[in-house]
Chain A
Amino acid sequence: MIRTQGLRKVYRMGNVEVRALDGVDIEIGKGEFVGIMGPSGSGKSTLLHMLGLLDTPTGGDIFIDGTDVSRLTDYEKTMFRLYKLGYVFQDYALVPELTVMENVALPAMLRADRTEQQYKAATVDILSKIGLCDRRTHLQGELSGGQQQRVAVARAIVNKPDILFADEPCANLDTENSRMVLNLFKEINREMQQTIVMVSHEEWHKEYFDRIIRLRDGKIVNGEK
């Protein structure tokens, strides 16, 4: 599903070079729930952004589903993200002026292959799954952090993406809410064979992952499990 070869990302700040990623080779299969772990500054977010086409690498190749994504134009990348990828961010990143329902439906509204009935049905479907159907007309400001993050997850999977990316989705949540989100991930991973790549630095999250990619100073340390 995802394969990288010699992936590198160098940030240049004046004369200082930061090698955020320094030759990363990984392979992630379909239906895997992979955790990316490592100390702060080790390049976890950077790797996720490269894989999720949110940033361009300095060197190396990324293949997703056989597509060499470095060859895509900006517009094609946007469409690739819309049709194949889903994202959950640390700070939920919902649109505050939209209701729960509208936030979740937004990516589906743009898809050429979805009718209004289809995306509305899909949205209600997912909201029932995450247990927030009765909150569908609420705005972001009226939800708890855990609820907001579940809405963000719903938005990420409403289009049934090939891969779901999550960058520390539990960082702002207490243990109880973290477990709720992680259980939700596990559930969709099992039931829908959803491929999930998630960054975390909480060791106890390990139990949810099928496999862990450990980074240190932009390099892979080892692959566990």
Chain B
Amino acid sequence: MGKKELKVAFFLAWRSLVRGNRSSLFLNVLIISMVFTNMIFFPALMNGIGQDVTKTVVDYQISNILIEPKQGNAYITDLGTTLDLINGMPGVERATPQYTMGATLKFRGRVLGSTVYAIQPREEEYVSPLYMTMVGGSYLGENDKGEMIIGASVAGSPNVLEADEYSPSLGGVRVGDSVTVEYANGFTSDYRVKGIFSTGKFEVDDRVLTSWDDMQGVTGTAGDKASYITVKVKPGYSDQFVKDELLQYGVMDKVQTSSEVLDKSLGRNLASFSIIGFISLLVSLVIAVVVLFIVIMIKTLNNRRQIGILKAIGVDQTVIMNSYGFQVIILSATGILLGFVFTGLLVLYMTIYPMVTPTFSATPYVTFSDLATNGLILFIASVIAGYLPAWKVARENIQDVMRG
């Protein structure tokens, strides 16, 4: 196949596309672009959701590394020394403890089962951006006692009927209101709501937070133990590196990186997402392959006599085959490019107007490698689907094809 032959094959392909049926050309390109968009979009959306859920969990719940009590223990003891040890390690931005206790909240006839999280407010600011999500009142102070901050879902709204609530709430608590808290250990006290925060994530906004000092009054202990410790890792260090370091330094408690925690809790969901994604990818590909196969098959069948004539006047069968091949290449390349544009527009739209739910907000997350891989897969599949019928007709006997 010399340069001349390729040139003629391309020439024939180009003429046939440009001077052939415009609307069928347009539809072919459109189908390929839709298939490409479909291939990219669903997995990208799943990916975006995954990223958003991960961000929520890391930012507000467990940070980069979660340290839990060792097997058989309810608390991490010897907290002061442990925190000092961890905070002194390279790669650790800050480690903060949390102490949780189940509680029943009561407000104007509403009763709500909840968990109270005691935090060290100043320290916590280094680890979690929660302090920046206050929508009313203010964040907890270091020595606040008898005061708490609550999430927007706990506060609720007086305008929403109890039956219509996404999650149970106290039915419209405002800053300054007094809420009665009955702790699981029997301790009961009234709290002033100092502030209300809203992250938009249900798992965070259903929390109630008090200060570390306050919790000491509830438990009646010196506060040298925690339910767990969250560790924020310095930029440039990997979670795994810090985890290994913690273990080497002799932290005896259960240490997990955020991705290990997520794998356990989300792993199953993500696995079923990826199966759905794979099936959707497969279906898209099959559609593209079948469409192109049929398009080229119809073209070659309609042009059988012409193919015979071309062979008769000395056009080699590889030139003919490649002329159809080039048509598929042009069709699928244009379709994929148009698909890039569609995907781009969709991503842009969903970035501006993300799909927001109480557990995640989904913005499709597209990587260049996704675009490249899927584009390549679609391209290769299309070209094979197009070449096959062309190859079949092009190598037939001249007499057979000329007779039509």
Contacts and interface: CB of A to CB of B under 8 A. Distances in A.
A196 B327 CA distance: 37
A110 B4 contact: yes
Contacts of A49: 399
Contacts of B7: 109
Contact of B314 (A96, A97, A107): A107
A75 interface: yes
A102 B8 contact: no
A55 B399 CA distance: 6
B149 interface: no
How would you classify the secondary structure of chain B's contact residues: helix, strand, loop or mixed? Answer: helix
A87 B15 contact: no
A82 interface: yes
Contact of B4 (A55, A83, A109, A139): A109
A109 B316 contact: no
A112 interface: yes
A89 B399 CA distance: 13
A198 to B, nearest CB: 16
Contacts of A96: 19
Contact of B19 (A85, A89, A97): A97
A8 interface: no
B319 A93 contact: no
Interface in B1-52: 2, 4-5, 7-8, 11-12, 15-16, 18-20
B310 interface: yes
B132 interface: no
A121 interface: no
Contact of B16 (A52, A97, A110, A112): A97
A93 B4 contact: no
A44 interface: no
A143 interface: no
Contacts of A106: 8, 313, 315
B309 interface: yes
A115 B107 CA distance: 93
A156 B399 CA distance: 19
B398 interface: yes
Contacts of A159: 314
A102 B18 CA distance: 14
A81 B312 contact: yes
Contacts of A72: none
B61 interface: no
B305 interface: yes
Contact of A109 (B8, B16, B18, B305): B8
B312 A83 contact: no
Interface string B381-404: 000000000000000011100100
Contacts of A5: none
Contact of A87 (B2, B305, B313, B397): B313
A155 interface: yes
A155 B399 CA distance: 20
A89 B312 CA distance: 10
B311 interface: yes
Contact of B309 (A52, A79, A89, A112): A89
B8 A54 contact: no
Nearest to B17: A97
A97 B20 contact: yes
B306 interface: yes
Interface in A72-97: 75, 78-79, 81-83, 85-87, 89, 93, 95-97
B317 interface: yes
A44 B223 CA distance: 110
Contact of A82 (B11, B313, B399, B402): B313
A127 to B, nearest CB: 17
Among B2, B12, B305, chain A packs the most CB atoms within 10 A around the CB of B12
Interface string B249-287: 000000000000000000000000000000000000000
A82 B4 CA distance: 14
A54 B19 contact: no
Interface in A91-133: 93, 95-98, 102, 106-107, 109-110, 112
Given A55-B399, A109-B8, A95 B312 contact: no
A155 B313 CA distance: 9
B404 to A, nearest CB: 11
Nearest to B317: A78
A83 B314 CA distance: 8
B315 A75 contact: no
A210 to B, nearest CB: 25
Given A54-B398, A78-B317, A110-B5, A139 B309 contact: no
Contacts of A107: 313-315
Contacts of A81: 312-314
A82 B314 contact: yes
A87 B397 CA distance: 17
A79 B314 contact: yes
Nearest to A158: B313
29 contacts: A54-B312, A54-B398, A54-B399, A54-B402, A55-B399, A75-B316, A78-B314, A78-B316, A81-B312, A81-B313, A82-B314, A83-B314, A85-B314, A86-B313, A89-B309, A93-B305, A93-B306, A95-B12, A95-B309, A96-B19, A97-B18, A106-B313, A107-B314, A107-B315, A109-B4, A109-B8, A109-B11, A110-B4, A112-B4
Instruction: Give me the 7 closest cross-chain CB pairs, A-B, nearest first.
Output: A82-B314, A97-B19, A93-B309, A81-B314, A97-B15, A55-B399, A97-B16
Given A49-B399, A78-B317, A98-B15, 4 more contacts: A79-B314, A81-B313, A109-B4, A110-B314
Interface of A: 49, 52, 54-55, 75, 78-79, 81-83, 85-87, 89, 93, 95-98, 102, 106-107, 109-110, 112, 139, 155-156, 159
